A and B are shown apart, each in its own frame.
Chain A
């Protein structure tokens, strides 16, 4: 069964500092990996996704993530954090279903706090 681990429950960074959120996955085949962001009381917004090809993927809002198969990781990074980035971030692994659609398994999330 697929699973996702986000080892950091809370992270606090200063505005302007760099950010790295960790994600490790367990999946038998080539994974489809995603990062979502959730603001308080809101739904999830897709930041970026990895299906194949270049292991460094660019997303919205200046985020990027690197897929490392040897480490089963898909860490999210941003070179300079803005106060508006404060939110909860979820890593997910997808399993394409033969009946259609894509079953996502989410991690427990990392809550990001940005200090001004």
Chain B
């Protein structure tokens, strides 16, 4: 069964450093989502791609966060500089074009010290 791949699974970084997360969606899925999940809360959408285009990045802190999906397949989420409040689980999900079901990856647990 196809799955969404994410790496790394865990990342510890010092504040003010740069950090990047990678996501490879299920093959053929046009829509890719990045979520942030703070401990004890539900996931919150950061950015959504349709192929290589951003559909929604209204909740992405653009002063420090950036996301790209250059060829419309895999995607990278970057934080620079990282802050203590960025400690969270970063989840990637994908779905078929105009499909309603999102498939989630295992996530990247980020700890900023």
Contact = CB atoms under 8 A, between A and B. Distances in A.
Contacts of A42: 106-107
Contacts of A46: 101-103
Interface residues of B, number: 29
Interface string B56-84: 10000000000000000000000000000
A49 B101 CA distance: 8
A45 B43 CA distance: 13
Interface in A65-103: 90, 92, 94, 96-97, 99-103
Interface in B24-77: 30-31, 33, 40-45, 48, 50, 55-56
Interface centre among A45, A92, A101 (most CB of B within 10 A): A101
B103 to A, nearest CB: 8
B49 to A, nearest CB: 8
A43 B100 contact: no
Interface of B: 4, 30-31, 33, 40-45, 48, 50, 55-56, 91, 93, 95, 97-107, 109
Interface of A: 4, 32, 36, 41-46, 49, 51, 90, 92, 94, 96-97, 99-109
